[in-house]
Amino acid sequence: MTTTAATLADLDAARLLKGLRHTVGNTPLLAVHYTFDGDPRTLFVKSEQLNMTGSIKDRMALHILETAYREGTIRPGDTIAEATSGNTGISFSAIGRALGHPVRIFMPDWMSRERVDLIRSLGAEVVPVSAEQGGFLGSIRMSEEYAAGNEHVFLPRQFANEGNVRAHELTTGPEIWWQLRFQFRTPDAFVAGVGTGGTVMGVGRFLRRVAPAVKVYPLEPAESPTLRTGSKVGRHRIQGISDEFIPHILDLSALDAVVDASDGDAVLMAQQLAGRLGLGVGISSGANFIGAVKVQQELGRDAVVVTVFPDDNKKYLSTALLQDEPVQEHFLTPRIRLTGYEAFKRVCHTCCDLEDCTQKLPHGA
């Protein structure tokens, strides 16, 4: 490509990226009201299922691609290759194709049918990786082998890329802070299930800067306590979290205690969120809600506890989410009754950079 053509292509990418920014983030914060053993309480939840492709991963994909364009580590026409258990693949496919890139996704072959079809429908190629080929770790290895020595392949490396944490430090964290400040509240705790750890690390880093006493809890499936044991143990059904290893970008020493949620409890909670409140969210959203209920139990019924709904329910229609789930004695969902929610979307309108606003009072509040 000649210099002039490259410059024109860069300008095109800058214009496209600017437009895409309006489709990602700035999601509503929900005040979800519920009773626990009959006692009324409220949790705050960021509605990440309302992002462009229906998941929180759009924030990370957009930020990493914007940074790569700014730093010149991706060129127009380069192939984007990534190992992912689903949502990241969907985000890079949609945003990558919008920017004109071929996209190749390496994915364990046991992920839900909907995830594979969604990625293919977005014009990307899916490379299924079997358990014999190494499953999730095999997907990462194969994506790295594919990129090795090929300067026309861009590898986002979500598990190791600091840009993943920065995406949430720059957007999700400040949005949560300001949406709470407009309600004259400050957070006491943030809880999030760990896939790459980008959400919990990035939001935690921002909130700790503006509210140093805030507690930040990573969450994992009770059936597969990888964070607590340091290695892959057991099996679970909460797709998107707990992927066989502790990700590079996760620093457990910077976080509070690991919280867990049983996968069956998470399924029942997600079913209740959809069935009672019309919030069509995925299984990890149910797990995050259970985790937030546990943290509020510990900190006190009036504690301002925040979590996220990472994705919507459309990728799980063929999974346990739509099946009868047996209740076990230790589950919390039977003690929880969802009673309603309010949604807030107000963020700072007087500055262009939310991060700069952190020391100011809510404008016009």
List residues with catalytic annotation.
Answer: 57, 284
Asked if 243 contacts 158 with a C-beta cutoff of 8 angstroms, the reply is no
Asked if 203 contacts 192 with a C-beta cutoff of 8 angstroms, the reply is yes
Which of 282, 321, 325, 333 is the binder for ligand PLP (CB under 6 A)? 282
Closer to ligand PLP at the Cβ: 49 or 333?
49
Question: Does the footprint of ligand PLP cover residue 196 (CB under 6 A)?
Answer: yes
Total residues at interface with ligand PLP (CB under 6 A): 18
Query: Whole-number minimum distance, CB 313 to ligand PLP, in Å?
Result: 10
Question: Does the footprint of ligand PLP cover residue 27 (CB under 6 A)?
Answer: no
How far is C-alpha 331 from the geometric centre of its chain's CA atoms?
Answer: 24
Considering only 24-32, 97-105, 191-199, 343-351, which stretch makes contact with ligand PLP by CB under 6 A? 191-199
Return the residue matching tokens 């709904």. 309
Closer to ligand PLP at the Cβ: 26 or 319?
319
Which of 57, 101, 157, 181 is the binder for ligand PLP (CB under 6 A)? 57
Question: Does the footprint of ligand PLP cover residue 51 (CB under 6 A)?
Answer: no
Q: What are phi and psi of 344, to 5 degrees?
A: -125, 140
Closer to ligand PLP at the Cβ: 57 or 237?
57
Closer to ligand PLP at the Cβ: 88 or 161?
88
CA separation (Å) from 343 to 23, 29, 47, 64, 204?
Answer: 18, 6, 9, 29, 22
Q: In what order do the strands lie in the sheet with 125-129?
A: 125-129, 103-108, 79-83, 153-154
Question: Does the footprint of ligand PLP cover residue 88 (CB under 6 A)?
Answer: yes
* 133 residue type, one letter: Q
Question: Does the footprint of ligand PLP cover residue 108 (CB under 6 A)?
Answer: no
Q: What are phi and psi of 364, to 5 degrees?
A: 70, 5
Query: Whole-number minimum distance, CB 76 to ligand PLP, in Å?
Result: 27
Question: Does the footprint of ligand PLP cover residue 270 (CB under 6 A)?
Answer: no
Lay out the site mask for ligand PLP across 203-242 (x = CB under 6 A, - = otherwise).
Answer: -------------------------------------xx-
Question: Does the footprint of ligand PLP cover residue 198 (CB under 6 A)?
Answer: yes
Number of neighbouring beta carbons within 10 Å of residue 185: 14
Considering only 65-73, 196-204, 225-233, 270-278, which stretch makes contact with ligand PLP by CB under 6 A? 196-204
Query: Whole-number minimum distance, CB 19 to ligand PLP, in Å?
Result: 24
For residue 343, is it left (φ>0), alpha (ψ between -120 and 50) or beta? Answer: beta
List the beta strands (DSSP E) in 160-251: 189-193, 215-221
Question: Does the footprint of ligand PLP cover residue 271 (CB under 6 A)?
Answer: no
Considering only 26-34, 67-75, 136-144, 195-203, which stretch makes contact with ligand PLP by CB under 6 A? 195-203
Question: Does the footprint of ligand PLP cover residue 310 (CB under 6 A)?
Answer: yes
Short-list 76, 166, 115, CA closest to 319: 115
Q: Cα separation of 92 and 124, whole Å?
A: 9
Q: What are phi and psi of 132, to 5 degrees?
A: -65, -30
Considering only 25-33, 86-94, 221-229, 323-331, which stretch makes contact with ligand PLP by CB under 6 A? 86-94
List the beta strands (DSSP E) in the chain: 29-36, 39-47, 79-83, 103-108, 125-129, 153-154, 189-193, 215-221, 259-261, 305-309, 336-344
Considering only 11-19, 101-109, 187-195, 321-329, which stretch makes contact with ligand PLP by CB under 6 A? 187-195
Non-local CB neighbours of 292 within 8 Å, separated by 6+ positions: 43, 45, 189, 191, 305, 306, 307
Pairing of strands 259-261, 189-193: unpaired
Which of 173, 193, 280, 291 is the binder for ligand PLP (CB under 6 A)? 193
Residues that bind ligand PLP (CB under 6 A): 55, 57, 86-88, 193-199, 240-241, 282, 284, 310-311
